[in-house]
Amino acid sequence: MSKRDRVIRDEIHRDILVPAHHARIIDTPEFQRLRSIQQLSTCEYVFPAATHNRFAHSLGAYFLAGELAEHLHEVHPGLMSPEDEELVRLAALLHDIGHPPYSHLLETPRVFATFASHEAWGRKMLESNGTEIGQVVREVLGDERLGRLFALMNGDDTHNGHPIPKYLKEIVSSQLDVDRMDYMIRDQANTGAQIGGFDSARVIRALRVGDDGRFYVKQWGLPAIEAYLVTRYHMYQQVYFHKVNMLTQSYLVNMLVRAKELAIAGELVLRPELSDMLLNDELTPAQYATLNDAHIKVELSTWAHHSDKKLAGLARRLLSRKDFHKSLRIDQLTLEMSDIIMPRIHEELIVAGYDPEMDLVQATIRKRGYLPYTEGIVLEDGRDASEHSALIRSLVQNDEQSLIFVPENIRDDMEQKVREWIKPSQSSLAQFD
């Protein structure tokens, strides 16, 4: 086994230097698995080049954590110990180790018989003696430092009586963490979305640690913070919540749910990996760590010819990108409004000769805006960034929206009916909300 340091060439950050003992972690099968988990699940149906993976993103977060640590050594000499610098870099490297196939999309008990969050699965994989990565991380760090790594990743204030500085946790998880910085830059580059972007190096240079142990931003860095938050807003609007992306995500989850139902009924034979995912309610970390996107993709061509119309229809759509449902073009369709009209749409589909189980798809968009004050970004005068910037204040609002998809042939007619249903006494849709 090579004990040499390594330089990994990255499309975003260029050369990423990896010490030999960290390369041992990267070379485990559990970390290499991230090559086969797409960062943006089904987003490639909208943006064909969005096939980048969690492996590259994890390396990018690792790199940015190192850049931020080096910056802190310059502006706050002696603040961060070499031991904590290593832990924060490894926390960034390993933050996504527990992701299921198709990333956040399949992080649901609708799919997994043994359900846990990706953070929980990551902890299980790293703690396990039955995974290679668990063994290697323990060898690299030792039990005490491994415990501190877990505490850091968990957001704890202390470990074994020793404090964990707030800024360390903010590097890994905050509104301005290295995870978000990397995925926004990487996702924009791979989707080709033209949204302006931001300069991560300038954001990092503007950061300082205050007397309270938390990060604050120098006043001159406010434009860089504005660009960062505007980029995040537009990435959600144009990429993550794109209607076709939301639709294909629903197709994929619904397809796996249907496969589970058929397998339980004895009408579908699953390969071992999918059986573990959908049916095994005692899944081990080692078994979980074998699952990736390919186990699902390989089934599409077979399932597309299954006798069950629902399973076959969903698989065919994902296989050929044809016969996609179309969204009702009604802005600001709230969840409350959707709950009221969905039963009526269901009835109309039956009258029109469609099967609502196959031809009615609903997706929910939950936009989590900028969170000021409690989880916000603070400038050097102690005030939240939103107090300094009207632009940032405009990004504060949270929003929930329902998307309803029906067959293209009846979309126009259904839109007209829905508009009538939701405004019997209102003059506009906006007034209903």
Other residues' Cβ atoms within 10 Å of the Cβ of residue 313: 21
Distance of alpha carbon 16 from alpha carbon 8, whole angstroms: 5
Query: pLDDT-derived band of residue 332, with 50, 70 and 90 as boundaries?
Result: confident
Give the residue among 291, 417, 275 at the shortest CA–CA distance from 345: 417
DSSP strand E in 153-263: where? 158-159, 162-163, 207-209, 215-217
Average pLDDT over residues 286-296: 98
Q: What is the helix (H) or strand (E) element at residue 403, kind and residue range?
A: strand 399-406
298-327 pLDDT per residue, tens: 999 999 999 999 999 999 999 998 999 999
Q: Is the pLDDT of residue 402 over 90?
A: yes
Other residues' Cβ atoms within 10 Å of the Cβ of residue 222: 18
Q: Is the pLDDT of residue 426 over 50?
A: no
Matching residue, tokens 């049916």:
279
Q: Is the pLDDT of residue 211 over 60?
A: yes
Other residues' Cβ atoms within 10 Å of the Cβ of residue 50: 23
Give the residue among 394, 407, 396, 404 at the shortest CA–CA distance from 365: 404
CATH class of 325-433: alpha beta
Which CATH number does 6-240 carry? 1.10.3210.10
Q: What is the DSSP string of 332-401?
A: T--HHHHHHHHHHHHHHHHHTT--HHHH-EEEEEEE-----TTS--BBTTS-BHHHH-HHHHTT---EEE
Average pLDDT over residues 241-255: 97
Q: What is the pLDDT of residue 131?
A: 98
Higher pLDDT, 83 or 372: 83
Share of the chain above pLDDT 70, in %: 97
Higher pLDDT, 280 or 430: 280
Matching residue, tokens 């709950």:
339
- Evaluate whether 181 touches 200 at the Cβ level (below 8 Å): yes
Average pLDDT over residues 156-182: 97
Q: Is the pLDDT of residue 1 over 70?
A: no
349-388 pLDDT per residue, tens: 999 999 999 999 999 998 777 888 677 899 999 999 999 9
Q: Is the pLDDT of residue 433 over 70?
A: no
Q: Is the pLDDT of residue 2 over 60?
A: no
104-145 pLDDT per residue, tens: 999 999 999 999 999 999 999 999 999 999 999 999 999 999
- Evaluate whether 127 touches 119 at the Cβ level (below 8 Å): no
- Residue 404, beta-bridge partner list: 362
Mean pLDDT (the chain) is 94
pTM (two decimals): 0.95
Domain edges within the chain = 6-240, 325-433
Q: Is the pLDDT of residue 3 over 80?
A: no
- Residue 401, beta-bridge partner list: 365
The SS3 of residue 428 is: coil
- Evaluate whether 319 touches 414 at the Cβ level (below 8 Å): no
Q: What is the pLDDT of residue 398?
A: 73
Residue positions counted in the chain: 433
Q: Is the pLDDT of residue 430 over 80?
A: no
- Evaluate whether 50 touches 187 at the Cβ level (below 8 Å): yes
Q: What is the pLDDT of residue 424?
A: 57
225-244 pLDDT per residue, tens: 999 999 999 999 999 999 99
Average pLDDT over residues 70-76: 98
Share of the chain above pLDDT 90, in %: 89
Other residues' Cβ atoms within 10 Å of the Cβ of residue 16: 18
Give yes or no on whether 6-240 and 325-433 have one common fold.
no
Q: What is the pLDDT of residue 372?
A: 81
Distance of alpha carbon 326 from alpha carbon 340, whole angstroms: 20
Query: pLDDT-derived band of residue 425, with 50, 70 and 90 as boundaries?
Result: very low
270-282 pLDDT per residue, tens: 999 999 999 999 9
